[in-house]
Amino acid sequence: MRRLPTERSTTIELVVPKDDAKLRLDRVLAKQLPEYSRSRLQQLILAGFVRVN
């Protein structure tokens, strides 16, 4: 199981497919990281653990 970034872990880089470019960030992450609930991903986004380039 992959770990999401925390203060003590490494960075995970994901590439968003063109087809998903207009989806909400939490939905894109849920598709690419199915082992995590969307609500958990939303918490990580709000806490600043997710950055978009």
Residue 1 has pLDDT above 70, yes or no: no
**What pLDDT does residue 11 have?**
79
Q: Which two tokens stand for residue 22?
A: 């207009």
For the chain, the domains span 1-53
The pLDDT tens digits of the residues spanning 11-35 come to: 789 999 999 999 999 999 999 999 8
pLDDT: is 2 or 41 the higher one? Answer: 41
